[in-house]
Amino acid sequence: MSEQAAKGQGAGRLNLLHRPRRNRRSEWARRLVREHRLDVSDLIWPLFLIEGSGLQEPVPSMPGVFRYSVDLAVEAVAQAAALGIPAVALFPNIDPALRDERASQAHHPENLVCAACRAIKADVPEIGVITDVALDPYTSHGHDGLLEGDEIVNDATVAVLVAQALNQARAGADIIAPSDMMDGRIGAIRAALDAEGFEQVQIMAYAAKYASAFYGPFRDAIGTKKTLRGDKRSYQMDPANTNEALREVALDLEQGADMVMVKPGMPYLDIVRRVADEFGAPTFAYQVSGEYAMIMAAAQNGWLDGDRAMMESLLAFKRAGAKGVLTYFAPRAAEMLNRKIELL
Ligand code: PBG
């Protein structure tokens, strides 16, 4: 090779009009042409609750994630608000003695979620509170609906979900988020909320929720792992399906959902893209417990750079068309974004 060619000039040079690498040569140029950006406003923080006070209990399968008693949950949420996180999503781990076949606690006015909701709305009114509508934290069998024989019964479950949603709205929930996948629940909940004067309460529908192995650590966190009888494939979606997701989203939007969600997140980015393109409705993705656990476990083993993997995975949701992401990384990511660290 001649000296000139070695310098990238002269005889060995390709006659290229287009050299895409020009736009990647420097940090400032990469920033200039970057198409998508993660923002603190894109983050929703799911957090776990337990009874008691002064408690912050680690979830073993989710390093860095805790179950908080209401008093400490309020403090954690205040910190999230200070970081600029727009909303939190609450998930309770209730005393097993309070769980029964009928999920009675789900619509008890003094239940853990309602207590947390009232306390957060009183102390941190500037943050949005999202409450989960589904019966799994409250049933003795760990299902999202009522069990009759081997069957999760749809319509009887919807009646309980409506009671649960109203109970949460009365406690001050801003967004009701049904994650149960029963048919017709969005319409029933919307009608009941409106009839009670809660027409301003929003609904974020877990519209395309798949029967996924990635929920494992979450079931640990809310204490349903050991109790869950069978699986959830008769109501959560088959991971093999795409068109069905569009039908589910269409139905939830027709029934009055203000926002829709795809769940899990990373393995389902194709669904996020199709839903976002097809409907143009605010579309969210849930980076679920198993996705979080995978990244954390690999990082703890020194197999990948956890912060980089976190930022890259979160940005991927934006690139796929999501308006925002529910992620256990929310506080960590918000801190970095506030320090203008993108790690790309
Ligand atoms: C159930 C519910 C699940 C999650 C949120 N709500 C799990 C399930 O369907 O068993 C999973 C969230 C996560 O894995 O982070 N209503």
Task: Measure CA of the first residue to CA of the last residue in the chain; give whole Å.
Answer: 35
- Measured between alpha carbons, how far is 104 from 111 in angstroms, rounded to an integer? 10
User: What architecture is the 37-338 domain classified under in CATH?
Assistant: Alpha-Beta Barrel (3.20)
42 CB within 6 A, ligand 1: no
308 CB within 6 A, ligand 1: no
Question: 264 alpha carbon to ligand 1 midpoint, in Å?
Answer: 9
- Measured between alpha carbons, how far is 197 from 192 in angstroms, rounded to an integer? 9
| CB neighbours of residue 338 within 10 Å | 12
Q: Are 43 and 327 in contact (CB under 8 A)?
A: yes
What residue ranges of the chain have pLDDT lower than 70?
A: 1-10
Q: Which residues of 126-138 are buried (b: 16+ CB within 10 A; e: fewer)?
A: ebbbbbbbbbbbb
Question: 279 alpha carbon to ligand 1 midpoint, in Å?
Answer: 24
- Pocket mutation for ligand 1, best pick of 47, 215, 219 (most atoms within 8 Å of C-beta): 215
Q: Are 180 and 134 in contact (CB under 8 A)?
A: yes
139 CB within 6 A, ligand 1: no
- Closest to 291 (Cα-Cα) out of 320, 307, 313: 313
Q: Which protein residue has the closest C-alpha to ligand 1 atom 2?
A: 179
- Pocket mutation for ligand 1, best pick of 133, 179, 226 (most atoms within 8 Å of C-beta): 179
Q: Which atom of ligand 1 is nearest to the CA of 179?
A: 16
Q: Are 114 and 105 in contact (CB under 8 A)?
A: no
Q: 75 among the known binding-site residues?
A: no
Rg, the chain, Cα only = 22
| CB neighbours of residue 180 within 10 Å | 25
Q: What is the pLDDT of residue 226?
A: 84
Phi, psi torsion values for 326, nearest 5 degrees:
-85, 120
Q: Are 208 and 264 in contact (CB under 8 A)?
A: no
- Token look-up 């926002």 returns 259
Half-sphere exposure in the Cβ direction for 264 (13 Å, CA): 20
Q: What is the pLDDT of residue 344?
A: 87
Domain boundaries, the chain: 37-338
Catalytic positions: 209, 263
Q: Which protein residue has the closest C-alpha to ligand 1 atom 12?
A: 288
Q: Give the global pTM.
A: 0.96
Residue by residue, DSSP assigns 42-109 as GEEEEEEEESSSS-EEE-TTSTT-EEEEHHHHHHHHHHHHHHT--EEEEEEE--GGG-BTT-GGGG-T
Question: Residues for the chain: how many in total?
Answer: 344
291 CB within 6 A, ligand 1: no
Give the tens place of pLDDT for each residue, 115-151: 999 999 999 999 999 999 999 999 999 999 999 999 9
- Closest to 181 (Cα-Cα) out of 232, 219, 110: 232
- Closest to 85 (Cα-Cα) out of 46, 122, 121, 112: 46
C-alpha dihedral, 210 to 316 to 82 to 257, nearest 10° = -40
CA angle 328, 330, 336 (to 5 degrees): 135
- Pocket mutation for ligand 1, best pick of 144, 326, 329 (most atoms within 8 Å of C-beta): 144
DSSP-H helix ranges across 129-242? 154-170, 185-195, 216-221
293 CB within 6 A, ligand 1: no
289 CB within 6 A, ligand 1: yes
Question: 277 alpha carbon to ligand 1 midpoint, in Å?
Answer: 25
Half-sphere exposure in the Cβ direction for 64 (13 Å, CA): 18
Give the tens place of pLDDT for each residue, 206-216: 999 999 999 99
288 CB within 6 A, ligand 1: yes
